[in-house]
Structure 1
Amino acid sequence: MERLDQSTFKPFISEGVKLVEFSASWCFDCKRIAFSMPEWEDRYGSHFHFGELDVDESRKIAEEFHVKGVPTFILFRDGVEEFRLASKEAKKDENVIRFFDEVSAAPLP
């Protein structure tokens, strides 16, 4: 997973299919998800590239994309948001896996 910040976020999402986890260092669920992420990257890495953005370090980006809580997952295709799993639903692994399954099955343009 690529760590993103204010300067690397826009270039990262600008081309291809990218899945960004909006997280925070104080977020228990984000830390728990981090343990599963290597497995999920192996499973879904052929469908999209993973990135992680700390909302406290990059508040302007979190505000721009109306991220209200963490963890939040947003799938971008060529810089455009296509799918989102907001914080309340993203706290359960089964919801995250279902989301990844759905977005990885979505047709490419």
Structure 2
Amino acid sequence: MTISHVTDQTFKANIKEGLVLVDFWAPWCGPCKMIAPMLEEIDSEMGNKVTIIKLDTDENQETTSAFGVMSIPTLILFKDGKAVEKVIGYQPKEALTDLISKHVSF
């Protein structure tokens, strides 16, 4: 799978089914750039268990403020449209995979 970019308009449609990790980021954010390759790895390793999407906070203020995102990167994990976990700042890959694994239904 590939990580897709969403907007305020497409956000809700992209989180309504299954497990979705949303990366709230901005192009100028250093830690966001550091976390991006890790998200690519998680995406290829966890494949169909989780969908990863990115939302540019500068261009999508409505969704950003709706979820109380004050600093980036912020990662919010949604399960069937409901936020179940939220982490702020750079996280090691293991922390992210553990966070996702807690919510994977087998």
The TM tier, using the shorter chain, reads: 0.7 to 0.9
Question: Aligned partners of 1:97, 1:5: CA distance in 2, in Å?
Answer: 28
SS in 2 for 1:46: helix
Shift of 1:16: 1.3
* Counterpart code for 2:98: D
* Counterpart code for 1:101: D
For 1:97, the equivalent position in structure 2 comes to: 94
Question: Aligned partners of 2:30, 2:38: CA distance in 1, in Å?
Answer: 13
Calculate the TM-score normalised by the size of structure 2.
0.87
Identity over aligned residues, as a percent? 32
- Bigger relative contact order (CA 8 A; separation at least 6): 2
Shift of 1:81: 0.3
Shift of 1:59: 0.7
| 1:67 equivalent in alignment to 2:69 | yes
Cα RMSD for the two superposed structures: 1.5
- Is the 1:44–1:104 Cα contact (8 Å) retained in structure 2? no
For 2:48, the equivalent position in structure 1 comes to: 46
SS in 2 for 1:21: strand
5+ residue gaps, structure 2, are none
Question: Structure 1 segments of 4 or more deviating over 6 A?
Answer: none
Q: In structure 2, do the counterparts of structure 1 residues 53 and 107 end up closer, same or farther at CA, with 3 Å as the change threshold?
A: closer
Shift of 1:40: 1.6
Question: Aligned partners of 1:49, 1:107: CA distance in 2, in Å?
Answer: 11
Shift of 1:107: 5.5
5+ residue gaps, structure 1, are none
* Counterpart code for 2:31: D
Shift of 1:22: 0.3
Shift of 1:100: 2.2
Shift of 1:70: 0.5
